[in-house]
Amino acid sequence: MNDMMRELVDILNKASKAYYAEDTEIMSNFEYDKLYDELVALEKETGITLSDSPTIHVGYEVVSSLPKEKHPAPMLSLDKTKGVDTLRDWLGSQPGLLSWKMDGLTVVLTYDGGELVKAVTRGNGEVGEVITANARTFKNIPLRIAYKGHLVIRGEAVISYSDFERINSEIPETDAKYKNPRNLCSGSVRQLNSEITGKRSVMFFAFSMVDPEDSELMDSFENSFKKRFEFLMRQGFQVVEYKEVTGENIADTVKWFAAKLPENDFPSDGLVLVLEDVAYGRSLGMTAKFPRDAIAFKWADEEAETVLTEIEWSPSRTGLINPVAIFDPVDLEGTEVRRASLHNISYIKDMKLGIGDRIKVYKANMIIPQISENLTCSGELTIPDKCPACGGETEIRNENGTETLVCINPDCPAKNIKLFSLFVSRNAMNIDGISEATLEKFIAEGFLHGLSDIYRLSEHRDRIVLLEGFGEKSYNNILSSIDKSRECSMAGFLYGLGITGVGVANAKLIVKSFGNDFDKIMNATREELRDIDQIGDVIAGDFTAYMSNEKNRAEIEKLRKEITFVIEENNSPQDLAGKTFVITGSLVTFPNRDALKKVIEDRGGKVSGSVSAKTDYLINNDINSNSSKNKNAKKLGVPIITEEDFLGMK
């Protein structure tokens, strides 16, 4: 029994990490809830709770480059139920407030002196990410409030369905579109560039506040959760929509929310019931994971019956070949659904899936299609022994009790997706409209094996226009971008080949040193490359090894037949020769760092990614910031200059 508990803990923790820390899903909510309930039952039966059980731990450590900060008090999740009777029994004779349980990213705001001074994500409940600059761009957040004391507010950052659809409508490829508003919101709130956050129309809805130290303000709340909401509204905050409830009217109020759900523009995965009497709720205490003054209600999922018609096997960059169920279209939550992820082979076997089976499908949180039940359980499904991308051998691997299908060909184009993505990127061949998701789709369909195949996509026109999310318009846009890229810079082309150590700057140095002669570049010796300033022995070795590979040379020759090099004249004075710059922070005059970098390089200078003793100038418009680059520059005596200072340099 302990082994079963350990297996459940490992599976649930892996799923939680993917959901909370990586913004992905490896199992459905339906499956997660089922396994979670099994674990709770086993813990009750045995009296044992493992130290890393998800029933006593909340979320996972955040993984990003954003600064991290510990919350003053842990942010616990809520116990949950799908039964209205359970809600009524939980409330008993107490009054309560019933509100939307919004599906976004929880954020904690801190105000001092009436000013927003800090915003931190929930993170793992104990440590979150500091996103203050991003929070200031939320559409409905007050940057200043009337109350001048110390105030800490908790709420949910969300993106509306209408804004979600608007943002997705601007993305031509289906595979590149965001899966749901929550993932879009999470990625938007945690951006390193607050300008991107500002364009995403993020909204903030307050749902609670930390007790203020102001005793007079606390007395005015009279232990009322509703009065706290009213106070926040007076300060300019939007709070979650709520209704006052008792045991007598809670069932009707749940129905009221359910009836409003189809017209609700904000994503919600249920309701929250909190006790109106704050002091009474606090007196109930809490478990290791759940406070006892509130409980979550999750909607019962709408299901539809259909027939499984096909399994699509989609190769990925990791070598995993992911199964996707294709079934007769059904209407769920007002939209047509015909596809659902199957996660892995173990899931397929557990569900006993086979082509022609009658299955039940639903939308988790009314968004993500999932299979909930197999009614016929034929189990007659053949696992492919050939990779659909490269035709190479596949094998079934078992890791921690989960079986997955893997392509074992190291040269499978699906594994080299980063190379294809680099080749089409702005600083390389600058082919607009071909996202990484589109590349993955084309590779999975067998259209792309080498880089030169990009220039022969027209051969697959009839199949491309029939792919889900594509059509004549998308196809024509892609072909137009490809044709524009046929005239390209030699340095961009060289960079796009993905040679180890040859970034944009080094590619330009090599092209310049060999006088824009690509034949000389291909046949350059290690010694010739080492003679180029800033090209060391390691890069020279990697470069010559790449160019001496017959397969690489053959692919380059195929590409050269498709393109024409445009020689760029550089009449800029070389007044920055020998100078090394580092660029950090936001820019005002230049549209982006690449534009500033080009000016520096055209004038003979070099741009580095980090401050060192060899750095001549750090360009940062916020000279007094406490960023790590500023601190290093001051420590090393490197001058910190603004864009204006740079433009004035002679």
Whole-number Å distance between alpha carbons of 430 and 537: 30
CA 527 to chain centre: 44
CB 280 within 8 A of CB 96: no
Outline where 67-223 has alpha helix (H).
84-91, 132-135, 161-169, 181-189, 194-199, 215-221
Under 8 Å between Cβ of 345 and 384: no
Of the listed 101, 441, 508, 629, which one is catalytic? 101
Asked about 101 being catalytic, the answer comes back as yes
Cα→Cα distances 256→83, 245, 248, 318, Å: 16, 12, 14, 46
Cβ neighbour number for residue 225 with a 10 Å cutoff: 24
Q: How many CA atoms lie within 13 A of 320 on its CB side?
A: 14
- Characterise 572 by phi-psi region: left (phi > 0), alpha (psi -120 to 50), beta (else): beta
Structure token pair of residue 312: 């699509």
Q: Which two tokens mark 149?
A: 């004391």
CA atoms lying within 13 Å on the CB side of residue 105 = 35
Q: What are the CA-CA distances from residue 56 to residues 106, 114, 125 (Å)?
A: 19, 37, 12
Q: Which residues of 552-563 are buried (b: 16+ CB within 10 A; e: fewer)?
A: beebbeebeeeb
Question: In 316-421, at which residue ranges do the beta strands (DSSP E only) sit?
Answer: 321-332, 335-341, 358-364, 368-374, 394-399, 402-407
For CA atoms 426, 432, 437, 443, give the dihedral sign.
negative
Six-digit token string for 396: 């079934």
In which residue are the tokens 């919350």 written? Answer: 71
Closest of 217, 195, 241, 70 to residue 145, by C-alpha: 217
Catalytic residues: 101
